[in-house]
Amino acid sequence: MIINPSQRLKTVKEYYFSKKINEIREMMNDGKPVINLGIGSPDLPPSKKTISALQNSAENENHHGYQSYIGVPELRSTYASWYKKYYHVDLNPDNEVLPLIGSKEGILYISLAFLNAGDEVLIPNPGYPTYSSVSDLVQAKIRYYDLNEETNWEPDFKKLEDTDLSNVKIMWVNYPNMPTGKNSSIELFKKIIDFGKKHKFLICNDNPYSFIQNNNPQSILCVEGAKDVAIELNSLSKSHNMAGWRMGVLTGNNEYIKTVLKVSSNVHSGMFLPMQHAAIEALKNPESWYKKINIIYAERKKIAFEIFNILGCIYDDKQVGMFVWAKIPEKYHSSEAISDELLYKYNVFITPGFIFGSNGNNYLRISLCANVNKLQEAKERIK
């Protein structure tokens, strides 16, 4: 007897990268030397002090039990200090900081906490696919809003206001933006906050890329009055090379944090204490550590641009973050077509932009999470 899955899964597909990684693994098992330039999983290690903190704490026999649902006080206060130092945002560590087991889980917690079936959600196109899949899982109604070159990858607020926004409950934004590399700015954040206040819905900024290839990290919470209408997800995955560690955080108004905690406390049983101690140490990395990492990414970005030059793609050399985003030549009818050609002819995988939405169909994305030698090899194969 086969038990049928829930109705909600009819609108949710397996994550694109989950399937593609399996395909690439099979190709490699068959002897094909595939270079994967698709996934944004840092290949560089965390700081040595971060790793030492994990090891030292794990050796303590009293550090292996269940932990608080809200993290240890020192972790919350260190997150608050980090936000103050780099984003110039004041957070109360007692009730405006909620550590998470990765910010991806936070997207689900927020959606479960605030959305009823049928509530509308504004999601960027192109944008992170998880915003859509999670909205489908909670049976919300997705309203995509366009990001494109004409608006410099910013929302067209006037176009949105020409539509009925009365049923919108949440607007997802993501600056610095993935996949486009569009940087954040105080002016843009002010527009977004004013827009959320005017139409009375929650703004959720997903902010994991602000330290990568960017000399001016910013948070949407730095805007005056932002906490009234906005919350922000952040993560150590990209900025601190801790993707597999699953350490994230939700910041914002006490009432919003308490609402999300009702969900998260019923899903997990706290984070491994040595991981929390490691995160505390990571957040204390000096500015020189971030600069050193960014020097490496800058060297890689230069080669990524050279690859796109060979392919005849067009790109903005001022984009920030862990990826490079480029428009494909007109001779290709889709990003999937050129991505598959590169994979099957040259054993190089570059992410097709269509997976981020219809507005990404004519774009490719290269991850900078491959070393210079791999990028050079990919370049030579394509050349």
What is the predicted pLDDT for the residue at 358? 95
Q: Is the pLDDT of residue 83 over 70?
A: yes
Q: Is the pLDDT of residue 14 over 80?
A: no
Q: Considering all CA atoms of the chain, what is the largest pairwise distance in Å, rounded to the nearest integer?
A: 62
pLDDT tens per residue across span 108-160: 999 999 999 999 999 999 999 999 999 999 999 999 999 999 999 999 999 99
**Cα dihedral sign for 314, 369, 376, 295?**
positive
Cα–Cα distance for residue pair 374/348, rounded to 1 Å: 10
Cα–Cα distance for residue pair 125/153, rounded to 1 Å: 10
Both structure tokens of 283: 């957040």
User: Which of helix, strand or coil describes residue 335?
Assistant: helix
Mean of the pLDDT values across residues 7-14?
70
What is the predicted pLDDT for the residue at 175? 97
Ramachandran sector of residue 102 (left: φ over 0; alpha: ψ -120 to 50; beta: rest): left
Nearest to 132 by CA among 11, 10, 234: 11
Q: What is the mean pLDDT of the chain?
A: 94
Mean of the pLDDT values across residues 181-187?
96
Mean of the pLDDT values across residues 279-286?
97
Please report which confidence band the pLDDT of residue 363 belongs to, taking 50, 70 and 90 as the band edges: very high
CB 144 within 8 A of CB 134: no
Mean of the pLDDT values across residues 69-77?
96
Q: Which long-range contacts (CB under 8 A, 24 or more apart) does 325-330 make?
A: 325/179, 325/180, 325/181, 325/353, 325/363, 325/364, 325/365, 326/363, 326/364, 326/365, 326/366, 327/149, 327/362, 327/363, 328/362, 328/363, 328/364
Please report which confidence band the pLDDT of residue 8 belongs to, taking 50, 70 and 90 as the band edges: confident
**For residues 12 and 383, which has the higher predicted lDDT (pLDDT)?**
383
CB 233 within 8 A of CB 206: yes
Cα–Cα distance for residue pair 41/151, rounded to 1 Å: 29
pLDDT tens per residue across span 214-233: 989 999 999 999 999 999 99
Please report which confidence band the pLDDT of residue 17 belongs to, taking 50, 70 and 90 as the band edges: low
Ramachandran sector of residue 200 (left: φ over 0; alpha: ψ -120 to 50; beta: rest): left
Cα–Cα distance for residue pair 102/99, rounded to 1 Å: 8
Q: Is the pLDDT of residue 306 over 90?
A: yes
Please report which confidence band the pLDDT of residue 268 belongs to, taking 50, 70 and 90 as the band edges: confident
Q: Is the pLDDT of residue 52 over 80?
A: yes
Q: Is the pLDDT of residue 331 over 90?
A: no
Q: How many angstroms from the chain centroid is the CA of residue 191? A: 21
What is the predicted pLDDT for the residue at 137? 93
Which residue segments constitute the domains of the chain, with CATH numbers given?
Answer: 7-45+287-382 (3.90.1150.10), 65-282 (3.40.640.10)
Mean of the pLDDT values across residues 64-84?
96
Mean of the pLDDT values across residues 100-111?
94
Mean of the pLDDT values across residues 25-49?
91
Q: Is the pLDDT of residue 15 over 70?
A: no
What is the predicted pLDDT for the residue at 16? 67
CB 205 within 8 A of CB 174: yes
What is the predicted pLDDT for the residue at 23? 84
What is the predicted pLDDT for the residue at 183? 96
H-run or E-run covering 17? helix 16-29
Phi first, then psi, for residue 47 (nearest 5°) are -65, 155
